[in-house]
Each structure stands twice: as C-alpha cells, then as structure tokens.
Structure 1
Amino acid sequence: MDDHIEFTASPIKFLGLILIGAGMAAAGFWLMTSEEDLFARSMGGLCMLFGVLCFFGLAKQMTMGGSTVVFSREGLEDKRWGVGLIPWNEIESVRVLTIQSTRMLELRLRNPQMYLEQLPWHLKLSSGLNKTFGFSNFNLVFTGMNPGLDTALAYVENHHPDILLD
C-alpha cells in the first residue's frame, strides 16, 4: 500500500448529494408556503434552511478542486477542517463509527484543544455537538469521496495498527 493517499470529491456522488440538498430545500419551501399549521411551517423553514446549507456547502466543497483528505507518512489532513496536518503521533486512536448508516473514522487526538481552536465556527459547533453525544470532536466522513472509507481504514491498518480500535 502507498505511503500517500489522496481522497478527492467524486463529481457524480457529489452531484447526487447536491440534488438531495436542493430537493430538501424545495420540499421545505413547499411545506412552509402551503401549510396553515405554524409547526408544519416552522419545520418547512428548518428543512429549507438545512437543504440550502447542504446545497451550498457541498457545491463549495466540490469546487475546491484537488484532494480533500490526504493520508501520508507524516500524518493526515482534512482540508475541510482547515487545521493543517495532524501528525500520526498526535492521534491516540482511530475507529470506525456508524451513525444512522453513515460510516466514518472517529479520531481521538492527544491534544484536541490545539486543533479545535483552529476550526471555523460552524465546525466548532458541530464538533461540540459530537462531544455532547459522546463522540470525538474529529470525525472523518468519506461520503462522496474516492477512494472511500475502506481504503482509509486499510491505510491505518497497514501503517498504524497500534492506534486502530476494533
């Protein structure tokens, strides 16, 4: 296995995810404008907001170009986080985490605060929510990327089996 793997956005997968976001926004708009019930209209507004945020977030990520996540001999970097390279010796453990059928790599860092301070505000918010629910602050999601999570897991198994949890 290579010492360097780059995970990039798959245009076809991302197009599908963007269409789902647009569909959620449209459904939310319909619910918000066609229902009389305040609760239904509120839920429609939230659905529309979430769909729009997904749409623009995914569109931005797709147009970033180049690799999104890089695993190398030195460490790993998720360019969506904007914290730079996280050396392997800073990673205490890695495990596969599944939340509502979405598989991801959960990273437990030795000094998470050092990296949390560098996150953009919206990622700090989601990171805090992860911690509230008992998960790590840092989770690598490979949805819409090539290669996928299985390749990332194989890399960790081959190069850093000491940090891999079952």
Structure 2
Amino acid sequence: MKHTSEETIEIPLNKQRLIILLVSAVAFCGIGIWFTAKPDSFKNGLLGNPTIVSAIGMLSIVVFGLSAIVVVKKITDNKPGLIIDKSGITDNSTGVAAGLIPWKEIKEIKTTKIINQKFITIVLNTPQAATKPAKTDGNKKGSAKSNDNTVMPINIAITTLKYDFNELEAILKTAFEKYKKA
C-alpha cells in the first residue's frame, strides 16, 4: 500500500498472482489446442466423441486466450489496482474494472463470498450510478452496466491486488464513513 498523500491510498496490483494466472491461461489454451488438433485421441466417456472434444478445445482456446490477453495487459499496467481518496474508489483491478466510483454513489460496502472466494461488494444507490461513465485519468470509461430496474453491485476480487482482504475491507469502510457525506 502506498500513501501518495494524507488523503490518497494506492493498492498495487499483485504481479506475481497475475503471472500465475497468465501461466494457467496459457496452459489451458494449450490444452484447447491439443483437444482441437487431436480430438480422436480421447476414447473415454463424454470425451470419446471427437465433436465434443473439438468444441471443448475451441471454447478453451477462445476463453483462455482472451483471458491471457487481458492478464498480459494487467501485468504491463503500472497504474495502481485500487485508489482510495476523497473523490471515491478508483477500481483498476481487472480487465473490466469499474473506474471511479464516487462516494456519493455508494450505498454500502460489504463482503460477498462465492464458493471459496471473497469479494468486496460495492452496492450503488441508483441504477444510473452503475451505467454512468466514470472519468479516470482524464479519459471517459464506462463502469459496470445495468438496466433501469436493477442496481448491479460492483465486485472487487482481492486476487489481483497486493493487499490483505480484511485490512482492505476495513480501510474501504472507514473511508466510506469519512467521505460519504462530503
């Protein structure tokens, strides 16, 4: 964590975890290439059907290939993964990061657990807050999408950030209490 000023906290991206994600994505992409190139080499159960093996291989190439591209972009990204300051929370933790989330648009910050992964969930006040473009570094960037009837929360996974989950959650909640009325 880096304090660039009294009021700004920057949480860096965890480059080691990103490299592990990249190696995993490349490995699964390689398996997809193998499945596509040699579908007849699988003779057992569901994988005994060459059409299914090829389809799994192509899907694997597309999904993990795109994942690898996104991870490479994050590895080469020198911006902090999360910035907490008086204007709000700036999320740059993933390839589809939310950008700036102003404090006034946040209704609640809580923990959500899906399977064995914890997320910091930012619940927004209005659906419009989730669809309005956010400005980061002078560029317009769209944040999480929703329709007019649903307020979609923003989930931040700690896996790409270099910080302890519980400490980050405490910092975010403290900052929220401090700045939400400002």
Shorter chain as normaliser: what TM range? Answer: 0.7 to 0.9
Tell me, in whole angstroms, the C-alpha distance in 2 between the residues paired with 1:38 and 1:108: 43
| Residues 5 and 111 of structure 1, relative CA distance in 2, 3 Å threshold | same
| Residues 98 and 14 of structure 1, relative CA distance in 2, 3 Å threshold | same
CA drift of 1:90 comes to: 1.1
Work out the percentage of aligned pairs sharing the same amino acid: 18
Tell me, in whole angstroms, the C-alpha distance in 1 between the residues paired with 2:37 and 2:142: 33
Aligned residues: 154
> After superposition, what is the alpha-carbon deviation per residue over 1:86-120, rounded to whole angstroms, capped at 9, x for unaligned?
22221011211122322111111112334424365
Q: Which amino acid aligns with 2:169?
A: L
| Counterpart pick for 1:11 among 9, 15, 27 | 15
Q: Who is 2:131 aligned against?
A: 116
Gaps of 5+ in 2: 41-49, 134-140
Q: Which amino acid aligns with 1:13?
A: R
Q: Who is 1:75 aligned against?
A: 88
> After superposition, what is the alpha-carbon deviation per residue over 1:9-53, rounded to whole angstroms, capped at 9, x for unaligned?
122111111101101101111112211421121111111111111
CA drift of 1:5 comes to: 2.0
Q: Which amino acid aligns with 1:71?
A: I
Match status 1:38 vs 2:51: yes
Match status 1:145 vs 2:161: yes
Greater C-alpha Rg: 2
**Segment of structure 1 superposing worse, 48-57 or 65-74:** 65-74
Larger proportion of helix: 1
CA drift of 1:84 comes to: 4.4
Q: What is the root-mean-square deviation in Å for CA atoms of aligned residues?
A: 2.9
Tell me, in whole angstroms, the C-alpha distance in 1 between the residues paired with 2:97 and 2:23: 26
Q: Who is 2:71 aligned against?
A: 58
| Residues 54 and 148 of structure 1, relative CA distance in 2, 3 Å threshold | farther
TM-score if structure 1 supplies the norm length?
0.77
Tell me, in whole angstroms, the C-alpha distance in 1 between the residues paired with 2:28 and 2:98: 31
**Segment of structure 1 superposing worse, 80-89 or 95-104:** 80-89
